Structure 1
Amino acid sequence: MSAVVLALLCGAVVGLALGALGGGGGVLAVPALVYLLGVAPQVAGTTSLAVVAATSVAALARHAGTGDVSWRTGAVFAAAGVPPAVVASVLAHRLPPSVLTSAFAAVAALAAAAMLRSVRTTHRTTRRDGAHAGPAEGTAADGSTGRAGDLRTPAAGAGLGAVTGLLGVGGGFMVVPALVSVLRLPMRRAVGTSLVVILINSAVSLTTRLATDGASLDLAVLGPFAGAAVLGAWDGKRLAARFSGAALQRAFAVLLLAVAASMLLGVLV
C-alpha cells in the first residue's frame, strides 16, 4: 500500500474520531504518523498539530450549525491553556522520546478512566430518579456552567494546554472528559465545545514549535492526511447523531485505552 493511500485512510479515521467524539484526532494521528507512515517522532508531533487544527475547523463548523457549542466556556478554557501550551511546546523537543510516549499513554489512560466513571455516575443517577437525569449541579439547562464551573474552567484549561504543547496533540481526549466530568456539560455539547479548545490550543502550539524550535512538517504526508481528515470530520457529526451520549463516552474510553496500551507496549518492548 502506497504512503499516500495509507495517509488518506489514516486521515479519514482521525477525522471521524474528531468529528464524532470531539477528540481522539491527535491521539490517533501521532501513532499513525510514527508507526504506519514512518515519520520521525518530533516531526510527527508537529504534523499532527497541523492536521488537528485544520480538521477542527471543519468539525467545529458542523457542530456550530446544530447549536452544540458553548462558546464562552470553550473560549475561557482555551485562553487559560495558551501560556502553558507555549511553554510546554518549547520543552517538548528537550525530553527523551520514551518519556513523552510514556506520558502520552498515562494521560490517555487517565482520560479513559474519567469517561467511564462519568458514564457509571450518570447511569446510577438515571436509575435512581427513574427518568433521564437533568443537568447536573452547577449546569444550566442550556449546558453552560454555573459559578463553580467558571472557577474550575481556567484550572482545567491550563492543565490541558500543557498537555497539548508537550505531547503534540489537540488535547480533545482530555478536554471532553473535563467538560463532562468537571464542568458537567452534556456529552454532545462537550464534544462541540471541545473543538473550540482543540483549535486554539493546536494553533498556538503549532505556531510556537515552528517559530522557536525550527520544527518541520512532513508536507508529503500532511496534504492527503489533512484532506481526508477534514472530510471525515464533516461526516463525524452525522455519525455521532446515531448514538447516545453514553455510547459515545464508552467508545471514546475504549479508544483511549487501546491507544494507551499500544504506546506503552512500544516503550517496554
Structure 2
Amino acid sequence: MEIIGIVGILIMGVVIGLLGSGGSIITLPVLVYAFGMPPLLATTYSLIIVGVTSSFGAISYIIKKEYDIKIALLFAIPSLVIIFLTRSYLMPMVPETINWGTHVNISKSNLIMLLFGIFMVAAFYSMITSNVHNYKQTDTDKHLGFIPFEGGLVGFITGITGAGGGFLIIPSLVIANKTPIKTAVGTSLLIISINSIIGFVSDINSIHIDWIKIISYSIFSIIGVTIGSRFNHLISPVKLKSLFSWFILLMGIAIIYKEVITHQSIH
C-alpha cells in the first residue's frame, strides 16, 4: 500500500501539471486509503502537499504571464477568510460522533469522507458540462463581481474537505467570468496555492505534523508536476478533461459506497 500511495502522489503531481487542478481529489483518498491516515489529519496533509505542488505548477504560468493577479486576489481573499473560519471554528465544533435519528450514527471522519465523495461527484458534473471558449480578457472584466462569491464557496469546501477546489475554480472562471482558459488555469494554481497553504497554517498548532512525511510526499508530487508540465502540450485538453472527469466520478462513487453502503464505519 505504501508503493500504491507513492504512485498516487506522483500521479497527483502529473495531473496538476497537465490540468492545473485535481490534486486534492487524488491526494485525500490516497492518504486515507493507501497510507491509512485519519481523514481529519489527511485533510491537513492534503492542504500542504497540494499547496506546495500547485506553487511549483504555477511557476511556468507566471513565467508565460498566463495568470490574472486581480482575479486571484478577488477570489483568494474571501476564500481565505472562509477557510480560516471553517478550519479554526466550524470544524472543531463538529462532534466526533453525529447522531441522526435513532439508527444512524456517523463519525466526524466518515462525514469528511462522505462530503469529499459528494464534492468529487459535483466536480465531475462541473467538468463534464463545462464548455471551453476562447474568451478575451475584456469579457472577464465584465464579470468580476461574481468572483468573491465563488471564492467564498470554494473556501468553504476547502476548509471542510482539504480540497483545493481547482475543478470548481477553473469552470467558474471560464463559464461565469469568461476568463481565457490558459489564464484560468494559471490563476487557479495561484489561488489553490494560497488557499491550501493558509488552510494548513491554520491547523499547524492543533495537529501533530510529521514533517518527514510531508517533505517526502511533496518531493514525489513535485516530480509529478514537473513531468505533467513538460507533456501537457502533447495531450488534447478536451480528451484529458473527459477521461479525468469519469475517473473522479468513479472515485467519488467508490468513496460514498465504502462509507455508506458497506456500513463499515457508520453504525
For the 8 Å contact 2:140–2:178, the answer to whether it is kept is yes
Query: Secondary structure of 1:69's partner?
Result: coil
Aligned pairs for 1:125-144 within 5 A: 134-135=134-135, 139-140=136-137
Partner of 1:216: 208
Q: Deviations over 1:36-82 (max 9, x none)?
A: 01112121111111111111111010222233222221221111201
Would you say 1:113 and 2:125 are equivalent positions? Answer: yes
Partner of 2:100: none
Partner of 1:38: 36
Runs (5+) with no aligned partner, structure 2: 95-107, 263-267
Partner of 1:126: none
Q: Which amino acid aligns with 2:28?
A: V
Partner of 2:242: 250
For the 8 Å contact 1:20–1:191, the answer to whether it is kept is no
Determine the C-alpha separation between the residues in 2 that align with 1:171 and 1:134: 22
Q: Which moved more, 1:43-52 or 1:177-186?
A: 177-186
Partner of 1:92: 91
Q: 1:39 to 1:242 in 2, by over 3 A?
A: same
For the 8 Å contact 2:68–2:183, the answer to whether it is kept is yes
Partner of 1:174: 168
RMSD: 2.0
Q: Which has the higher contact order (CA 8 A, sep 6+)?
A: 1
Q: Which amino acid aligns with 2:79?
A: G
Aligned residues: 247
Runs (5+) with no aligned partner, structure 1: 123-132
Partner of 2:265: none
Q: Which amino acid aligns with 1:190?
A: A
Q: 1:199 to 1:51 in 2, by over 3 A?
A: same
Partner of 1:226: 218
Partner of 2:6: 8
Q: Which amino acid aligns with 1:146?
A: D
TM-score normalized by the length of structure 2: 0.85
TM-score normalized by the length of structure 1: 0.84
Percent of matched pairs sharing the same residue:
24
